[in-house]
Amino acid sequence: MKVLSVASEIYPLIKTGGLADVAGALPLALSAFGMETKTLIPGYPAVMKAIGDKAEKLHTFDNLFGERADVLSARHAGLDLLVLDAPAFFNRFGNPYNAPHGEGYSDNWRRFGALCKAAAEIASGALPGWEPDLVHCHDWQAALTPVYMRFAETPEKPSILTIHNIAFQGNFGIDIFPWLGLPPHALAVDGIEYYGNVSFLKGGLQTAWSVTTVSPTYAREIQTAQYGMGLEGLISARAHTVTGIVNGIDTDVWNPATDDSLVSRYSAHKPRAREPNRQALSERFGLDNDDSPIFCVVSRLTWQKGMDILAEVVGDLVAMGGKLAVLGTGEPGLEEGFRNMVRFYPGRVGTIIGYDETLSHIQQAGADAILIPSRFEPCGLTQLYGLRYGCVPVVARTGGLADTVIDANPAALAVNAATGIQFSPVEPWALSHAIRRTISLYNNKKAWLGLQKQGMKSDVSWKASAGLYADLYRKLDLMVSKP
């Protein structure tokens, strides 16, 4: 099958979150299932620089939302890319969505509307020699694609919309509607109208043939008022077309047996070779070099990630004999709070404010456990890295965290199935209790080693999930009547 993937970011070219990882990894994993994917992405400066003069012009839109735009074809890092070269929209440095002062660009609806319109035209056969059988869109920035496809004159092709985080919806004032080039009846409850405004995500949820999200638990959660962010009614109404498929990770980049960032490389057969990494981590974070357990955090320091809840129980963690190494950036109050704790608890808490990919590997290889007390977590990646690196995940029982970590309850421990610790609700007392359970398991060396080894054996690659996406693609393809 030929698949057009549409995404506003893609690893390794441009990344702000998990969406880029999925957009970058899935095409490669899907090729093993006979899927040929081309990914349409905006021509940001970083993308244009990476493809350089290797790109070939395939098509020109003379008037795409009032601007001229070219579709370029290029290969990069094993990916087949279609780059929408529209300097008026995308030739902006820095964050792909936000102006330097941090607010979203005021013309984001035009920028990503143009991306979606171009995608729908490609779906209808705008490119010479290549026409997709199916279109797979990611998040609100691509969500208008199935809307354009629904209202196009050509026969509609199957479409999938994947939600990576329902908190981001692409909602705009109703005054943009006339500029979108959609027929009047698209501005309706079964179109893109949303409480008197226009919503890209809502339009996509309404019109995509199938909706997926990045874990089965999150797929259920977003059908409830607590997690659905206003879209729960629509998602519940379409529940029969909604599935959850967990993300995988790049098991070559995240492989403790070959990872160049580590002081000492190791595997599930030699977990004790982690020790030098543990010492390196202690030194880096100024922690006491003793046997007590090191908990780590690699995270955005935000409310979603439950970092305020963690801040409340750091005193308990230290009193129970634990140590804490925090790496993150985020809300200024939380950054300040974790920085201050280093002075309150010298040798027991270390904080590094910043984004440091190499250090994040060292943490997974050196810490004993990773704390992930998220209020919601569509999938989450750091618990998957933790599993692979023998850094036992201690997670809130929500979204992908609930689906990928097996709690060390007595039954799971008895059959050697446990891979981490789960807790619920996401409240300070429950997190504190989970830390107590973790420390008590840590003090039982046999049980702890079992937990680490079982985690390291978990399949966190893309293989199984790519197979599920391929099954879904084929199922949708069967719904198309062939001439």
Per CB under 6 A, which region of 110-118, 278-286, 355-363, 446-454 contacts ligand ADP?
355-363
Q: What is the helix (H) or strand (E) element at residue 113, kind and residue range?
A: helix 108-123
CA 103 to chain centre: 21
Minimum distance between the CB of residue 215 and ligand ADP, rounded to whole angstroms?
11
* Contacting residue, 355, 411, 416, 459, with ligand ADP by CB under 6 A: 355
Minimum distance between the CB of residue 214 and ligand ADP, rounded to whole angstroms?
9
Per CB under 6 A, which region of 2-10, 116-124, 282-290, 321-329 contacts ligand ADP?
321-329
One-letter identity of residue 201: L
Site for ligand ADP in 452-471 (CB under 6 A): none
* Contacting residue, 206, 360, 419, 461, with ligand ADP by CB under 6 A: 360
Contacting residues for 188 by C-beta, under 8 A, at least 6 apart: none
Reading the block at residue 272, the tokens are 């004790």
Contacting residues for 330 by C-beta, under 8 A, at least 6 apart: 299, 300, 301, 302, 305, 307
CA 50-10-386 angle, to 5 degrees, is 120
How far is it, in rounded angstroms, from Cα 383 to Cα 366?
15
Minimum distance between the CB of residue 450 and ligand ADP, rounded to whole angstroms?
25
Count of positions on this chain that bind ligand ADP (CB under 6 A): 15
Of 300 and 339, nearer to ligand ADP (C-beta) is 300
How far is it, in rounded angstroms, from Cα 399 to Cα 221?
7
State the angle between helix axes of 428-442 and 445-457 in degrees (0 to 180), rounded to the nearest 10.
110
Q: Does 12 bind ligand ADP (CB under 6 A)?
A: no
Q: Give the three-state DSSP class for 167.
A: coil
Does residue 161 contact residue 146 with C-beta atoms inside 8 Å? yes
Q: Does 334 bind ligand ADP (CB under 6 A)?
A: no
Minimum distance between the CB of residue 351 and ligand ADP, rounded to whole angstroms?
11
How far is it, in rounded angstroms, from Cα 106 to Cα 442?
51
Cis-peptide, bond into residue 425, ω within 30° of zero: yes
Site for ligand ADP in 362-401 (CB under 6 A): 380-382
* Contacting residue, 3, 10, 18, 79, with ligand ADP by CB under 6 A: 18
Q: What is the helix (H) or strand (E) element at residue 393, kind and residue range?
A: strand 392-396
Site for ligand ADP in 285-314 (CB under 6 A): 298-300
Minimum distance between the CB of residue 373 and ligand ADP, rounded to whole angstroms?
13
Of 209 and 385, nearer to ligand ADP (C-beta) is 385
Per CB under 6 A, which region of 154-162, 168-176, 195-203, 322-330 contacts ligand ADP?
322-330
Residue ranges that bind ligand ADP, judged by CB under 6 A: 17-18, 298-300, 327-329, 355-357, 360, 380-382
